[in-house]
Amino acid sequence: MKIYSKFGILNKEIEIGEIDYFAKENPLKLSSGLEISNFPIAYQTYGNLNENRDNAILICHALTGDQYVANQNPITQKDGWWQFMIGEKKPIDTNKFFVICSNVIGGCMGSFGPKEINPKTNQPYGSEFPFLTIQDMVNAQNLLIEKFGISQLHAVIGGSTGGMQALAWGVLYPQKVKILIPMASSYRHSPQNIAFHEVGRQSIMNDPDWCGGNYLLQNKFPKNGLSLARMTAHITYLSEISLQKKFGRDLKNKDGFSFSANKDFEVENYLHYQGNKFVERFDPNSYLIITRAVDYFDLETDFSGNLSSAFVNLSKNQQCKVFIIAFSDDWLFPASESKKLTKAMAVNNINVSLVTIESDGGHDSFLLRNEILEKTLNGILLEN
């Protein structure tokens, strides 16, 4: 089923690919206690599911990613966000694997999200949309996996927020996963990260065009707030090394300073560019819902302050292997947290591996071409 959906400031209708409706009979209970039923999940698949249905790989997208992981994104008209990684004869080879990527619930690319129409009111959910957790997103993904008749995924792979989803798969559905690959991720969202998220949320909510979350009804769009949220967040996705390497102190105007508050530096220009691109494709309320879900993620407190007990059930799946990948200059999800995660798994005798790949792309390194990352993922998926 395909639907048309409106996007951001462009406010034009665009066809989004595959969409199915779930929980038609049994509602899905959310962490908040609310229940949802007959809700949509938008997804893309690549390659073919084999007869045994054991060659499926679920890719979990990051905070503002979407299901267009390996084909052209209909809104940005750009390649999928991991197009170099997934495809025929690529590191995640679709000649061999059936790759699924779905838009998380709470998102804005066709899955159940705040800009979709609430059938009860025939209006966008807006401020009525329920707050979610990473676990809710994974429970929804599980319904999609069930629809394909897949009893065990060959692998669940995700970076950042997607890595949290991969971990949540290990906690919630330990028998349904064979390989887990959380990249640039953590067992929790740190206080520093929550702080950055809050700045982003406040930027949106303080934009007068946010209208208490009901901007769509009032034909407005808090683009300045959303753009500012993206600018702030984007700093955290890079690193000191990557900013230095990309821009240094280069000036936009080679003649010198403007002696004004206008954009003088290339790095400023870049952040504005990122902010402006973002408002064309992302829904401000989705940003609030998803950042909140990420903030709530903490497997350690979920299991009474004992992180290792989060993985007791996973350790009963003798087949399961976990490969934790960190990046050396990622300060948002530092390698130290990956190490703590590794330890919590190792004490449960889980077959866990850890590698910190040398990078100069900051947190976003998992989205960038990296020979070592590509060959490592390829080997892990083929040899296990």
Maximal CA-CA distance, the chain: 67
Instruction: Tell me if 244 contacts another protein by CB under 8 A.
Output: no
Nearer CB in complex with another protein: 1/382:
382
**Candidates 27-35, 81-89, 208-216, 372-380; binding stretch for another protein (CB under 8 A):** 372-380
Nearer CB in complex with another protein: 192/349:
349
The contact mask relative to another protein for 310-349 (x = CB under 8 A, - = no) is -----------x-x----x----------x--xx--xx-x
Neighbours of 245 (CB within 10 A): 12
Instruction: Tell me if 352 contacts another protein by CB under 8 A.
Output: yes
Count Cβ atoms within 10 A of the Cβ of residue 4 and give its class: 0-12 exposed, 13-18 middle, 19 or more buried. exposed
Least Cα distance to 288 among 86, 115, 76, 43 occurs for 115
| CA dihedral sign, ordered 377, 169, 335, 198 | positive
The contact mask relative to another protein for 120-149 (x = CB under 8 A, - = no) is ------------------------------
The CA angle 111-135-314, to the nearest 5 degrees, is: 130
Instruction: Tell me if 96 contacts another protein by CB under 8 A.
Output: no
| Residue 330 annotated in active site | yes
Q: Name the active-site residue from 5, 102, 160, 242.
A: 160
The CA angle 6-164-31, to the nearest 5 degrees, is: 75
Instruction: Tell me if 358 contacts another protein by CB under 8 A.
Output: yes
For residues 3 and 383, give the distance between their C-alpha atoms in angstroms, rounded to a whole number: 39
Nearer CB in complex with another protein: 132/350:
350
Q: Name the active-site residue from 61, 154, 197, 363.
A: 363
Least Cα distance to 14 among 215, 281, 315, 240 occurs for 281
Least Cα distance to 65 among 334, 364, 371 occurs for 364
Stated as kind and residue range, the H or E segment containing 42 is: strand 39-46
Instruction: Tell me if 19 contacts another protein by CB under 8 A.
Output: no
**Candidates 123-131, 190-198, 205-213, 356-364; binding stretch for another protein (CB under 8 A):** 356-364
Instruction: Out of 29, 78, 316, 375, point to the residue binding another protein (CB under 8 A).
Output: 375
**Candidates 5-13, 20-28, 271-279, 373-381; binding stretch for another protein (CB under 8 A):** 373-381
Instruction: Tell me if 214 contacts another protein by CB under 8 A.
Output: no
Nearer CB in complex with another protein: 96/321:
321
Encode 206-242: b = buried (16+ Cβ within 10 Å), e = exposed: ebebbbebbbbeeeebbbbbbbbbbbbbbebbbbeeb
Instruction: Tell me if 241 contacts another protein by CB under 8 A.
Output: no
| Residue 160 annotated in active site | yes
Q: Name the active-site residue from 330, 338, 359, 365.
A: 330
Nearer CB in complex with another protein: 142/315:
315
Q: Cβ 101 to another protein, closest distance in Å? A: 23
* Contact assessment for residue 95 and residue 88, using Cβ atoms and an 8 Å cutoff: yes
| Rama region for 160: left / alpha / beta (φ>0; ψ in -120 to 50; rest) | left
Could you give the 3-state DSSP secondary structure of residue 236? Answer: helix
* Contact assessment for residue 280 and residue 75, using Cβ atoms and an 8 Å cutoff: yes
Instruction: Tell me if 240 contacts another protein by CB under 8 A.
Output: no
Instruction: Tell me if 372 contacts another protein by CB under 8 A.
Output: yes
- Tokens representing 69 are 């992981």
Q: Cβ 374 to another protein, closest distance in Å? A: 10
For residues 128 and 339, give the distance between their C-alpha atoms in angstroms, rounded to a whole number: 39
Nearer CB in complex with another protein: 217/347:
347
Instruction: Tell me if 208 contacts another protein by CB under 8 A.
Output: no
Instruction: Tell me if 379 contacts another protein by CB under 8 A.
Output: yes
Instruction: Tell me if 72 contacts another protein by CB under 8 A.
Output: no
- Tokens representing 318 are 């003798």
Instruction: Tell me if 306 contacts another protein by CB under 8 A.
Output: no
Q: Tell me, what DSSP letter sits at residue 357?
A: E
Residues marked active site are found at: 160, 330, 363
Query: Where do contacts with another protein occur on this chain (CB under 8 A)?
Result: 321, 323, 328, 339, 342-343, 346-347, 349, 351-358, 372, 375-376, 378-380, 382-384
